[in-house]
Amino acid sequence: MRFSDMWTVMWKEMKGIQRYKGSRTKSLLGLAIPMAMLGIYLPLQIGRALVEGPWSLLIAVFIPMMMVGMTIPESFAGERERHTLETLLASPLTDRAILFGKVAVSVGYSWGITMMLLLVSLVMVNIIHWDGQVLFYTPIMTLANVALSLLLAILVAGIGVLKSLRAATVQDAQQSLMTATLFPLVLLQMIPLLLLNVVPDGRALLIKLVEAANPTQIILIAMTVFVVSDLGLLMTAVTRFQRARLILD
């Protein structure tokens, strides 16, 4: 893969964000409330606990999911809707440059906004609870926020680009991506509910599991799972990126 080709695709995608900023502005306005809730309201409500506990993970998890979910469905489905896909595929750009260039812009865009919101939250906590000392996230939470948000953005982008490759419209790609990403979250929410309502002594078991949990180990395990999943999805996307089939579709 020639990095000059990849940069060409990234430049095109970044110009596309500016060109279609009207529709994207509407989407961003729809995200303004949850972003304000996580970046401003959450620090106001929980204060120092945001930097001393795991609360900042809410920002590191949900913002990449929302932002990538907004941008990656347009990667190929948007080209198909605008009737520019054939022109792109007929260019001398390499397959991997096209694929990874589009993924890189979506991931970088969402990850950058996530880092910005984490910084805004940190500043808010310091302003509200200023006592002469600057508050920072704990080292393990700093690692979790930076690494997990990036890995999660790549994960969602990998799923999204697979959906976008075959979707007829951006809306179809967005709906498929939403289903694929929200379903695991629903299952995770069901686990404590089942423990509390179905399993005998479930409440005591849940409390025991929470108390025995090692945050560092959990974060490292999650990072490992994300790395393996990201590589698998990107390799699958490379395999499924077939110019002839995309043009016929």
Residue 196: phi, psi to the nearest 5?
-75, -35
Cβ neighbours, 10 Å, residue 158? 23
Q: Give one word for 53, left, alpha or beta, with left for phi > 0 and alpha for psi -120 to 50.
A: beta
pLDDT in tens, 86-115: 888 888 888 888 999 999 999 998 999 899
Residue 119: phi, psi to the nearest 5?
-70, -45
Please compute the mean of the pLDDT values over residues 179-183 and round it to a whole number: 80
| CA neighbor of 223 nearest in space, from 57, 33, 4, 22 | 57
- Provide CB contacts within 8 A for 240, sequence distance 6+: 162, 165
Whether 135 contacts 125, CB under 8 Å: yes
Q: How confident is the model at residue 29 (pLDDT cuts 50, 70, 90)?
A: low
> Which is more confident, 195 or 186?
186
Measure the CA–CA gap between 108 and 116, rounded to whole angstroms.
12
- Provide CB contacts within 8 A for 194, sequence distance 6+: 202
Strand, coil or helix: 2? coil
- Give the angle 207-57-217 at the CA atoms, nearest 5°: 60
pLDDT in tens, 34-74: 777 777 888 888 888 888 888 888 889 888 988 898 889 98
pLDDT attached to residue 21: 47
What are the residue ranges of helices labelled H in 72-214? 77-81, 85-89, 95-128, 139-143, 149-166, 170-197, 202-212
Give residue for tokens 């397959």: 95
pLDDT attached to residue 31: 63
pLDDT > 80? residue 28: no
pLDDT in tens, 151-170: 999 999 999 999 998 888 88
pLDDT attached to residue 218: 84
Q: How confident is the model at residue 171 (pLDDT cuts 50, 70, 90)?
A: confident
> Which is more confident, 130 or 107?
107
Report the range of poorest mean pLDDT among 127-141, 195-209, 233-247: 195-209
pLDDT attached to residue 212: 65
